[in-house]
Amino acid sequence: MSKRELSPAWSVTLGCTVIVLLVVDVFLKNPADRQELMWACYWASISVAAGMIFRVDVLVSAGTVFLAGLGLPTWLLGTFMDSQMEATSVLLHVIPLVAGLLYLTKVTALPKYSAAGAWLLYVVPFGLAWRFCTPDAMINLSHWTRWPVPSVLPHTWQFYVLLMSVSAVMVIVAAGMLDSLVARNSISRQAKLRAGVRANHASPSAKLRG
């Protein structure tokens, strides 16, 4: 089990902040655009928020791994290609990721199945978007008919296999990087703790010598 050091008050506050941002974004959207809530980034943000509020490490880690490995890179690419950026979109891609990273840097180990959870945060809304969202919206890249270069991937199944494979690789890489970060922070905290203990033990003897 990972040891949490982020205070419950801060954890709940950050989680509620993410929820408030999501609610505000929903109300600011036109009804026709609310199918965009099927974007996996929203699901990942909810996972981070719920995990922080209820202190479930794997929810935080899955959402954070997804945002770091898939959500932020694809959003930045889409923003660059569209040449437009909304304030709420910036906040929803930055604040949940920062909150999740802050939470994870205070644990001793990245929870198991973080990469698998992050991948499911793409696969599940991908399937729902394919079933319920309009192809023109291209939510989660779920419709092959909007693929811009059909000569490269002429069959639908090739397109879907590519998406699932690339998404799996990206979240595995992100999980590995976050795991290394968490491990380094844990070792650093333990070293500081041991140094503090040694200093406390040495202090009485120093006073006696004085």
Q: What is the pLDDT of residue 1?
A: 40
Backbone angles phi, psi at 147, to 5 degrees: -65, 125
Q: What is the pLDDT of residue 134?
A: 93
What's the domain count of the chain? Answer: 1
For residue 140, give its domain range.
8-209
3-class DSSP assignment, residue 1: coil
Residue 26 within a domain: yes
Q: What is the pLDDT of residue 209?
A: 55
Residue 139 within a domain: yes
92 within 8 A of 25, measured Cβ to Cβ:
yes
Q: What is the pTM of this model?
A: 0.86
| CB atoms closer than 10 angstroms to residue 73 | 13
Residue 21 within a domain: yes
Rounded CA separation 25/87 (Å): 10
Beta strands in 1-117 (DSSP E): none
Please list the pLDDT of the chain residue by residue as tens digits (210 residues). 444 567 888 899 999 999 999 999 888 888 888 898 999 999 999 999 999 999 999 999 999 999 999 999 998 888 887 766 777 788 888 999 999 999 998 888 899 999 999 999 999 999 999 999 999 989 999 999 888 888 889 999 999 999 999 999 999 999 999 999 998 887 876 767 667 666 666 655 544 555
Q: Contacts by 73-82 with C-beta closer than 8 Å and gap 24+?
A: 73/170, 75/41
Nearest alpha-carbon partner for 164 in 198, 124, 201: 124
Burial 114-152 (b: 16+ CB within 10 A, else e): bbbbbbbbbbebbebbbeebeeebebbbbbbeebeeeee
Nearest alpha-carbon partner for 174 in 64, 60, 51: 64
Residue 2 within a domain: no
Residue 3 within a domain: no
